[in-house]
Amino acid sequence: MLDKVARLFIIKTRGEALLVIFALAMGAMQRGSAYLEQFPGIGGWLLLLACSGAVFLGGAKILDALRYEREAAEAAKASARE
């Protein structure tokens, strides 16, 4: 039963990954706009850019991890056939 619940939190497809990245981006931009209100001027803009940059880095890492997992699964299947 616990395995079934754990599978809900595993990103399996590229579409799911893009939805997670979109959600991260929405939260980051919300936080960035709050920074603009708290720190008007260049400091707020720099913090907003840092928030958006974090989403780019995290999104790239998520997409890379999906590719590596798929390649590892294909390699495991190929070695099991031999």
Tokens of 43: 């400091």
- What is the reported pTM? 0.81
pLDDT digits (tens, 9 = 90+) for 47-75: 999 999 999 999 999 999 999 998 998 88
Cα distances from 24 to residues 19, 62, 70, 79, in angstroms, run 9, 12, 23, 37
Q: Going by C-beta distance under 8 Å and a sequence separation of 6 or more, which residues neighbour residue 45? A: 36
Q: Going by C-beta distance under 8 Å and a sequence separation of 6 or more, which residues neighbour residue 35? A: 44, 47, 48, 51
Mean pLDDT of the chain: 92
pLDDT band at 36 (very low <50, low <70, confident <90, very high): very high
pLDDT digits (tens, 9 = 90+) for 1-22: 888 888 888 888 899 999 999 9
pLDDT the model gives residue 6: 83
Enumerate the domain spans of the chain. Answer: 14-81
pLDDT the model gives residue 17: 94
